[in-house]
Amino acid sequence: MEAIEEWKEASDELRTSSVNALRLALPGLDYSKTPPYCCPVTLNISKPNELGDGRICIDDDTRATVELNDVPNEVIAEAVDAVFGIAWFDQAEGPLEDAGPGTYNYDDEQTGGEYEVVLGDNDTNTGRVYIGYVPVPYAAELLDAMSTAREHQVQRATAGG
């Protein structure tokens, strides 16, 4: 029983650390006001016109699933290219910022993680980010890159270009 209690404490600490890492990576992320729908922890973000809105779940194996909508295309493209490099995703033959509207995928065979980004049309200029079943550090890295890309976008807009 003592070993199980030690495991439970370590698991709880890992989950708390995971939440902290994700919240630091993506400002505005906080615990969901409603109970989690599928995972022990569900986090929500609601910052329209900034970093989108949606949720992040952390499952029993401390793997993250990210579902964000209404994310500016420019933020998605810059973040994905910064984290993965140019033309890493299927259907992208160059930088995502040059790829245009569409759905771009990457399946990580090493971790079993799934990545899908959708660049929206020119009318909305927003897209979707879906990351499924990835280790929390991988999700935090992309979320941090999105936050940084958003800061760059704001800086360019205030500088007039």
pLDDT in tens, 65-116: 999 999 999 999 999 999 998 888 888 888 988 888 999 999 999 989 999 9
pLDDT above 90 for 20: yes
pLDDT (0 to 100) of residue 37: 66
| Collapsed DSSP state (helix, strand, coil) of residue 84 | helix
Q: What is the pTM of this model?
A: 0.89
Q: Which residue has the tokens 């922890």?
A: 41
Do the Cβ atoms of 96 and 117 come closer than 8 Å? yes
119 has which bridge partners? 102
pLDDT (0 to 100) of residue 47: 64
Q: Which domain holds residue 109?
A: 2-159
49, amino acid identity: N
pLDDT above 90 for 13: yes
Q: What is the dihedral of CA 150, 153, 155, 159, to 10 degrees?
A: -170
User: Tens digit of pLDDT for each residue in 119-147?
Assistant: 998 788 899 999 999 999 999 999 999 99
pLDDT confidence of 39, banded at 50, 70, 90? Answer: confident
70, amino acid identity: D
pLDDT (0 to 100) of residue 36: 65
Q: Domain total for the chain? A: 1
| Collapsed DSSP state (helix, strand, coil) of residue 134 | strand
pLDDT confidence of 35, banded at 50, 70, 90? Answer: low
pLDDT above 80 for 160: no
User: Which has the minimum average pLDDT: 39-53, 112-126, 139-153?
Assistant: 39-53
